[in-house]
Chains A and B, each alone.
Chain A
Amino acid sequence: MAKLLSARPRIGVGMGTCGAGNGAEGVYQSFAELIDRQGRDVKLASVGCFGFCAQEPLVNVRIPGRPLVILRRVDASDAQRILDDIAAGRVTEDLALCKIEEWDHLTAHVLYGSGYPKIPSWQEIPFFKPQKKIVLRNCGLISPDDIEEYIAVGGYQSLYKVLIDAHPEMVIEQLKASKLRGRGGAGFLTGLKWEFLRKAVSERKFVICNADEGDPGAYMNRNEIESDPHSLLEGMIIGGYVMGASEGIIYVRAEYPLAVHRLNRAIEQARQSGVLGDNIFGRGFKFDIHLVEGAGAFVCGEETALIASLEDYAGRPRPRPPFPAQEGLWRQPTNINNVETWYNVAPIVSKGPAWFSETGSAKSAGTKVFSLVGKITNTGLVEVPMGTPLKTFIYDIGEGGPRGKHVKAV
C-alpha cells in the first residue's frame, strides 16, 4: 500500500497499447528524464488503461493527502510544467479531466484525500457517469508489472480465503448464487459450468482462459490483461482449486504482444511469490499456468477449435456433445471461460453473491465491459451494469456522433 499511497507524489502514465499508440511512451520518457536530471522527489510508475481512449495519453497524479487527478491528452512537452505544479503543491488544472477522492477496488478501499473543488469527480464526467467498475476495478490505477501493487489493493486475498476455508463446494454455491454468466457471449451460468468440471472424475483436469478475442472492434480482454494481469491469474487459480485442476492454460492472440508480455511477467512474479507452484499458501495445492499464443485464426475463439489447436491440430471446431467438461483437452475434463468471466471471480468471493446480483438486470447479474469505437465522440472502454440501454452508450457515455453528426447504425 505504501507504493500507492506513498509519502512522495506519484505520477502514473497510462501505458496500454492505446496509450503507447498516442505517444505515452514519449510522455513517460520525458518525465523520467526530468525527474532524474532535476532530482525531483516524485515516484514515476507506468499504469494500465483507465478506459477513456479518446483522451489518451492519460496521466494520473497524486500529491500525498490529496485526490488522485487524471490528466488528459498529455504531451511529452507538458511534463516540465506538471512537475513544477507538483513541486508547488498544485495540480495542472487545464489538463485535468477528473479527480478520484476514494476508490473501491472491491478487494480493498483506498482513500486518497479530498480537495480540488474546481475539478469534477470522475463519476460526474458523462463518459464515466453510468459506469460501475468491477472487472476494471484496478485498470489504470495500479502498475500491471508489479505484483506488490496488486497485493496492496487486496489482490490474492480472495485466493487465500478460498484456500484457508477449504470448502470448494461453497465457492461453487457462491458463484451459482451470484448468477454470473459467461462473458464470452454464450452466457452460460458460470457456477453450473464449474460444477460440471468439479464433478468430473479424472486424474487430470484443465482450466483454460479463452483470450482469443477476435471480434473486430472488441478489445476489452486486451485491456483487462494489459492493465491488470494478476486478476486473471487469481481467478484461474481459484477456479483450479475449486474444480480440481492443477493445470491452467491461457490462450492469447498473437496480435496482442503487450498482453502476452505482461502475462508472462505476471506469471513469473506469481511463481516467485508462491501463488503459483507446488504448494500455494502452504495449503498443499499445486497449480501452474502455461501461456499459448494463437496463430491468427479467428475460429480459435470457439472453444472446441481452441482445444483442437492446443492438441496440435488445425483449429477446426468439433461437435458437442461431448462438452469440454466431459471430454476436453486430450479428452480430459476441461473448463474454458472467457477472460472477463475469470475477472469476476475474486470480487464475488470477496464481496459475496448477494452484492454481485444487486447490479445488473433480473436475467443477467453484474456488469459488462464494452468497447465504444468508430464514429463517436468519446471512444474507449466502458463497464456498465447489464441491462443498460443502447441510448445510454451512444448519447450519454459516447456523447453522440462527432461534430453533432447523426449515428445511423450500431
Chain B
Amino acid sequence: MAATTAQSALSQEEQTFADRTIVGHCGKPGALLGILQQIQEHHPHKYLTAEILEYVAEKADIPLARIYSVATFFAQFNLDPQGEHSICICRGTACHTHGSRSLLQRLRHELGLPDDDAEQTSVTTPDGRFSVRVVACFGQCALAPVMEVDHAIFGHVNEQTLERELQHLGRTK
C-alpha cells in the first residue's frame, strides 16, 4: 500500500534512476549509503524526499524505519530541499584558530540567516538560493580557514574573499 502511494508521487524518470541505482549497489558493502548518496545527488535540490525513501525501502527490501535511521544519522543526507548554492564553513580546530567562527557568523549575517550557536544543521535562505552548513573538518588544515562553495574548496578565506564570492554568486540583498 505504502509503495503504491510512493510510486505514484515519483516520476517515471525518478523511479528508473532509483531502480538502476539499487540494482547497481545490491549486495555490496555500504550499499544503502551508496544508494542514498546517488539518489540525493541526482535530485535537482539535492535532498531525499519521503516518497523516495519509501520507494527505496520497498525496492531494496530494507525496513523503512532503518532507512530513515540512516538518512537522519548521517550529516550528508538532506531531508529538506537545499539551496541553489551550498556554502560550507569548516569548523575544525585549525580553522577555528584562524577565525572560522566569525566567518560563519558573517556569512549568516550577509544572507539574512539567524545566528545559531549550535551550528548543527544546514540552513537554507527563504528564497532557496543558498544553503549554509558546517563541517567538523575538511582535512585541508594548512589552508585554514577553509570554505567549500558548491564542491570547490577555498583556502585562506577572509571577510573580503567571502564577500567577493557571495557577489560572484549573485547574492541579492
Contact = CB atoms under 8 A, between A and B. Distances in A.
Interface of A: 17-18, 20-22, 53-54, 56, 206, 213-219, 222, 249, 251, 253-257, 290, 292-298, 309-316, 329, 371, 373-375, 379-380
Contact of A292 (B29, B135, B139): B29
Given A20-B153, A21-B153, A373-B94, A253 B139 contact: yes
Contacts of B64: none
A54 B143 CA distance: 9
Contacts of B76: 254, 294-296
B137 A297 contact: no
Chain B CB count within 10 A is highest, among A257, A313, A373, for A373
B31 interface: yes
Given A295-B75, A309-B30, A315-B73, A214 B136 contact: yes
A166 B32 CA distance: 37
B140 A21 contact: yes
Contacts of B144: 373-374
A290 B29 CA distance: 8
If over half of A's interface residues share one DSSP class (helix, strand or loop), that class is named, otherwise mixed; here it is loop
A213 B136 CA distance: 11
B160 interface: no
Range class of the B interface residue count: 35 or more
B136 A298 contact: yes
Contacts, number: 130
A380 B142 contact: yes
Nearest to B29: A310
B69 A18 contact: no
Interface in B140-173: 140-144, 146, 151, 153-155
B93 A53 contact: no
Given A294-B33, A309-B70, 11 more contacts: A18-B140, A213-B139, A214-B137, A216-B92, A217-B94, A218-B139, A222-B139, A371-B142, A374-B93, A374-B94, A379-B142
Contact of B29 (A18, A22, A329, A380): A329
Interface in B98-157: 98, 135-144, 146, 151, 153-155
B81 interface: no
